[in-house]
Structure 1
Amino acid sequence: MTKDVIALTPKMPDLPTLIAGLYAGGPDLGINTLADGAVVQLCAPDGRPLVSVEAPILIQVPGETARLLGHAVKEGPVWWTEARASTAAAEAERLAGSFAGRLATVLGGTVWPPEAATTDVVPLTTDVSAIPIPATGNPAVDILTATTAVVIQDRPLVATTTWLSDALRTATAADRALQIVTPPTTRLTLPTRTALRGLPNRWVVQDPEHGYYDGLSGAVLHWKNGTFTPVRDEDGAASVADAFKTTAETGERQLLLTLRTQHPADADLVLGRALEAAFRHLTGAAPAGWSTAEPVNLPWSTRQLTDLARARAPRPTWLIAVGHPDRPALATMRVLRTTAGVEEGITLALGYGANEAPPLQAVEALAAELDAEHGLVTLLTALRAARRDLSAPAQLEPPPIPVTFTLGHDEARRIAPPRAEHPPLGLTPTRLGPPAEPALHYPLGDGTDPQAWSTFQQLTQHLKRQA
């Protein structure tokens, strides 16, 4: 598997330091650049890339190195320089470690993983000319077929880095699946899990004892016709790997909010305020930072993310927001220009330990503010038994259970208030806001009874019929 090595330094690696790092293989290796200089590659004499180094990122958000790497650094901003070693030569992994170790030594930083750090010169002894060059066209992609781009990752937590974002974007544009192959001990961040949720993309777990299986569904997989696909019996049914079924009850939970807002497309529009309101109601503070990839590196700023979305329009903009380290909170937001205006699609997850109570009592007040000030269309709140740190293991996790559902006042008016206020099953919504045009807040349960899904489905079917 390819290896990622990261140098974390208090100072930005300047050109002399980068050159010193790139001499980890001695003077015989060459240099190449990609993506207008954003990626530098250390290459074998025949031009084959051995180590790809991404441009340094200044991480100004506290807790990001600990969240993604389990590797805390001193207080203050830190420069994140990531090197990815290929499988073209046995020396590539040590070359990446020497590159990162040299940066950390000169600039007074650290290396992740710590055991990879070295400053030794690593001469190339493998005859790489005998190894076929993979025609991937992307330094993050290890195997490329007519239907699939395969990324092999060997790290505890797979985040939606710019590497991975580029690989997903390139695969989608070419009508290919993106499949990430990892060991069974690997977990996914929430943004990565979201990106891989829809087929044909997959999280492929390579288990030494159980073979390959899907890390999100558990389906046993095999490599067939250039892609990982489920193994099916004579009746066409797929089986679930035994390793996927192993679960442990920890008492940890996640509070999940899925909300949609809509705004007129005018020059004074500021995006991200609905997300900020959700963070303040549920965590007591605004998000700590935002970015278009992980690690999240920019301090929270609604103005800056609005400027980005406006510059990208009419193309959609996807971004990530993260909370402060004392309360696990992570959100994704998609901004879309539509004929009706500008739409925000937000998913927010918050983590709680066995002895922590999710703030369900704060949801109604949040819904009222979202409707009154932030163009709420719908808000669904749910609870699930899952890890407090918001990461996803390659194991069976129970689905979330709905707690409340809210219709914004414009959406309630479109459906017709008399019918929306009298749904089946005896549900009585709370009216939020002005009596003449209220938002409707429906209680569905306390997050422990799976029957709430049936209630929610009947409610939405009733509302759709009225619409």
Structure 2
Amino acid sequence: MKDVIALTPKMPDSWAVVAGLYAGGPDVEASGVHDGAVVQLRAGDGRPLVSVEAPLLVHVPGEAERLLGEGAGAPAVPYWWTEVRASAALPEAVPLAGSVAGRLTALLGGSVWPADAASLDVVPVPSASDAGEVTATTAEAGLAVDILTDSTAVVLADRPVVALNAWMSEILRTVAAAGLALQIVTPPHVRLSLPLRTALAGAPNRWVVQDSGNLFHDGLSGAELRWENGTFTPVLTETGEAAVAQPFADAAPSTERQLIVSFRILHEHVTDDLVLGRALEIAWTALAGTAPAGWGTAEPINLPWSTQQLTAFARERSPEPTHLLAVGRPDRPALATLRVSRTEGGVAEDVTLTLGYGAHEAPPLDAVEALARTLAGERGLTSMLVSLRRARRDLTVPPRFAAPPIPVSFTLGGADVRRIGLEHTLRPPLGLGPVRLGPAVHYPLGDGTDARAWTVLQQLSEHLEAVPAG
């Protein structure tokens, strides 16, 4: 897929969309897919050329720059973000996508990303074709991917940051329901957004990086890959181990860092006035100095931060779990995932908040204990793990080796302290100095620079699980 994006101060109404659709001349057929959320332009033989996503109103400053780069040229918020995707199957698709986006901005103002893709040309498209088997299968399946085999859906992507947008979320859901693997193939300069990296992690999905010389490797593990039997598989050494690509292994460690705060809040007494997201807001404010800037279900994150609206959205989806994203302000990179789910004990909020820091910025480790005390005393904290890792300040993920995060502290919530017994929780191994925080117990593990903290955390976990008989 080749993406072209129209960023406009005015909403693309039906007339503007129709003008864009005429970019392909009379031989192009238009049809709605995904319940009309996407308008697809097809060649005369039915092959998809361009998909035009439903416009998204973005209220959150900095999202275009975060995902498209500093030269995105987005209007002042709020503005409309319209994705136009060109298929890799036909050479006419890319200029057609540029013409659709160019016509939208010609009518509505704003800018096209990338800027050199915009045009007002009418792009002739073929009325018939000897389409290959893979392309035909892809069209019949209604899956907007570049290659579809019996086991794998392959998406070709080339943009600064490949993100967990609505289209990618739908692809992930669709391939998972079909029992397929999703493999995203990119050039080596492409990075993943943190939410997509999290969603893509684990078999059978894979990030495939294509280096020069038509060589491939896994962007997250570094394993050399080859196309075999309709999927990318690891290249094994003589000893049966996965070979690691040299560009991945030779990467120098980052001098920037990320602070990762993962915690669970359990609301045992669920009432009509329950408001979700407040614990995340408290953590964000304690560590970043401000509340989140926005929330949403995909990237770009488009809605201004509101715990009331967030709660209403999760309540509409209940009893199904709700997966949400939150983003910070441009001057302090921060992203969070929030999962709201019903459990036997009530309603749980599982949060992972990640904040980025430059080489000469100090992560606020001294604020962690006070945050743990607040969440334990007011918000029903079950547990909280804080860790630090060497990684990019902007929170994007390059296809390079990155060391795992190192634990900084662990906090055990009051319910588990009562279940295990206060005396046992206050006598951990290895001479740790636990701190009582109201009903909770907090365990400092280090400053995030010594990997031996993982061993200490494992031994602490074994100690807490070994509840004395009584």
The TM-score bracket by the shorter chain reads: over 0.9
**CA distance in 2 between partners of 1:176 and 1:144 (Å):** 9
| Number of residues of Structure 1 aligned to a counterpart in Structure 2 | 462
8 Å contact from structure 1 (residues 91, 126) kept in 2: no
2:457 partner SS: helix
Match of 1:398 in 2: 403
- Per the TM alignment, residue 298 of structure 1 is displaced from its structure 2 partner at its CA by 0.5
Match of 2:65 in 1: 66
- Per the TM alignment, residue 209 of structure 1 is displaced from its structure 2 partner at its CA by 3.4
1:76 partner SS: coil
Match of 1:254 in 2: 258
Amino acid in structure 2 at the alignment position of 1:37: G
| Contiguous gaps of at least 5 residues in structure 2 | none
Match of 2:459 in 1: 458
1:142 to 2:146 alignment: yes
- Per the TM alignment, residue 32 of structure 1 is displaced from its structure 2 partner at its CA by 0.8
**CA distance in 2 between partners of 1:90 and 1:167 (Å):** 23
Say if 1:33 and 1:372 are closer, same or farther in 2 by CA, change over 3 A.
same
- Per the TM alignment, residue 134 of structure 1 is displaced from its structure 2 partner at its CA by 3.7
Q: How does 1:5-404 map to 2 (within 5 A)?
A: 5-70=4-69, 71-125=72-126, 128-132=129-133, 133-136=135-138, 137-209=141-213, 211-264=215-268, 265-404=270-409
- Per the TM alignment, residue 200 of structure 1 is displaced from its structure 2 partner at its CA by 1.2
8 Å contact from structure 2 (residues 222, 244) kept in 1: yes
1:310 partner SS: helix
Say if 1:305 and 1:196 are closer, same or farther in 2 by CA, change over 3 A.
same
**CA distance in 2 between partners of 1:416 and 1:261 (Å):** 20
- Per the TM alignment, residue 251 of structure 1 is displaced from its structure 2 partner at its CA by 1.9
1:392 partner SS: coil
Say if 1:134 and 1:161 are closer, same or farther in 2 by CA, change over 3 A.
farther
Amino acid in structure 2 at the alignment position of 1:395: R
8 Å contact from structure 1 (residues 63, 72) kept in 2: no
- Per the TM alignment, residue 131 of structure 1 is displaced from its structure 2 partner at its CA by 4.0
Amino acid in structure 2 at the alignment position of 1:61: V
**CA distance in 2 between partners of 1:140 and 1:364 (Å):** 47
* Worse-matched range after superposition: 245-254 or 106-115: 245-254
* Worse-matched range after superposition: 392-401 or 168-177: 168-177
2:35 partner SS: helix
8 Å contact from structure 1 (residues 52, 139) kept in 2: no
Amino acid in structure 1 at the alignment position of 2:450: D
RMSD: 1.4
**CA distance in 2 between partners of 1:332 and 1:173 (Å):** 22
**CA distance in 1 between partners of 2:87 and 2:128 (Å):** 15
8 Å contact from structure 1 (residues 404, 441) kept in 2: yes
- Per the TM alignment, residue 84 of structure 1 is displaced from its structure 2 partner at its CA by 0.6
8 Å contact from structure 1 (residues 97, 118) kept in 2: yes
**CA distance in 1 between partners of 2:467 and 2:148 (Å):** 48
- What per-residue deviation string (whole Å, max 9, x for no partner) do you get for residues 249-270 of structure 1? 4521111111111112332221
8 Å contact from structure 1 (residues 214, 221) kept in 2: yes
**CA distance in 1 between partners of 2:129 and 2:299 (Å):** 33
**CA distance in 1 between partners of 2:153 and 2:466 (Å):** 42
- Per the TM alignment, residue 235 of structure 1 is displaced from its structure 2 partner at its CA by 3.0
- What per-residue deviation string (whole Å, max 9, x for no partner) do you get for residues 209-268 of structure 1? 361111000011112222222112343211110011122345211111111111123322
- Per the TM alignment, residue 129 of structure 1 is displaced from its structure 2 partner at its CA by 3.6
1:454 partner SS: helix
8 Å contact from structure 2 (residues 27, 127) kept in 1: no
**CA distance in 1 between partners of 2:272 and 2:187 (Å):** 48
1:393 partner SS: coil
* Worse-matched range after superposition: 242-251 or 336-345: 242-251
- What per-residue deviation string (whole Å, max 9, x for no partner) do you get for residues 141-187 of structure 1? 22222222222111111100111100101111122221111111110
* Worse-matched range after superposition: 395-404 or 130-139: 130-139
- Per the TM alignment, residue 127 of structure 1 is displaced from its structure 2 partner at its CA by 5.1
- Per the TM alignment, residue 135 of structure 1 is displaced from its structure 2 partner at its CA by 2.2
- What per-residue deviation string (whole Å, max 9, x for no partner) do you get for residues 263-285 of structure 1? 12332221111111111101111
**CA distance in 2 between partners of 1:178 and 1:28 (Å):** 32
2:121 partner SS: coil
1:405 partner SS: strand
2:376 partner SS: helix
**CA distance in 2 between partners of 1:444 and 1:126 (Å):** 66
- What per-residue deviation string (whole Å, max 9, x for no partner) do you get for residues 358-412 of structure 1? 1111111111111111111111111111100000000001111111111111121
8 Å contact from structure 1 (residues 134, 143) kept in 2: no
**CA distance in 2 between partners of 1:404 and 1:88 (Å):** 51
* Worse-matched range after superposition: 271-280 or 410-419: 410-419
TM-score, normalization by structure 1: 0.96
